[in-house]
Amino acid sequence: MKSITIKGSKRESVGKVATKALRNAGKVPCVVYGGDSTIHFSADELSFQNLVYTPDVFRVELELADGDKIDCALQDIQFHPVTDQILHIDFYQLFDGTPISMTIPVRVSGNAAGVKNGGVLRIINRRLRVRALPKNLPDFIDVDITNMKIGDVMAVGDIETEDFEFLHEDKKVICQVRTSRTAIVDEVPEDEDEDEEVEEGAEGEEGTESTAEGTEKKEGSSDE
């Protein structure tokens, strides 16, 4: 898992007045849970840009002004409903021997056979929750769709895992290839008479471009 360093200072006061003053100064009040004691700190709002505004998941190396260093991960974040200003962030302290649950992004790879034949790829879940030791948490969950045909569904149970486990049922759908009006039939029934008619038609219309071969492939996706 990728790591990012955040520098902050411990908060001496956690009241509403002190919290409002921090936000007015361009800082974000934060809390770290999971250790021997809860740690309250604040950091510049700009220092969270590469952590918050990205689909990637990071391991956070928190460096406090008093010299303490804490290994943690982002657990929850609150935004202002109108301005989208970061109001508060919760972190969870990581320990190498203790498993942790995190939401990991899904990355689709390959070109589905069904999409090549005119089907449409629909991504149902772009993020999945997993549990693993901090060192085994993946940057993303790779889903290979190369062999998916029209009508096929890829579920959580179809993904092989070694160092982590999914916190979902095996039947939870990740993506599927659906049919569309431009879909091409994968298999054509063998018929000698029909074959002869196609060949004769091809000779009679020599130089005419095939409509099926010029059909544009379409691929779409949606979130749940």
* Domains within the chain, CATH numbers bracketed: 2-94 (2.40.240.10), 102-178 (2.170.120.20)
- The whole-number pLDDT of residue 162 equals 83
- Residue 208 above 60 pLDDT? no
Amino acid at 107: R
- Residue 213 above 50 pLDDT? no
Q: How far apart, in Å, are the Cα atoms of 156 and each of 57, 126, 169?
A: 20, 12, 7
> Residue with structure tokens 């934060």?
30
- The whole-number pLDDT of residue 184 equals 58
Asked if 72 and 32 count as a contact pair (C-beta separation under 8 A), the reply is yes
- The whole-number pLDDT of residue 186 equals 53
- Residue 12 above 50 pLDDT? yes
Span of 58-72, 180-194, 205-219 with lowest mean pLDDT: 205-219
Asked if 138 and 168 count as a contact pair (C-beta separation under 8 A), the reply is no
Average pLDDT for the chain? 83
- The whole-number pLDDT of residue 32 equals 95
- Give backbone dihedrals phi and psi of 92, rounded to 5 degrees, phi first: -125, 125
- Residue 45 above 90 pLDDT? yes
Pairing of strands 27-33, 39-44: antiparallel
Q: DSSP secondary-structure letter at 23?
A: H
CB crowding 81-102: b at 16 or more within 10 Å, else e:
eeeeebeebebbbbeeeeebeb
Indicate the pTM of the whole model.
Answer: 0.70
Q: Partners of 28 in the beta sheet? A: 43
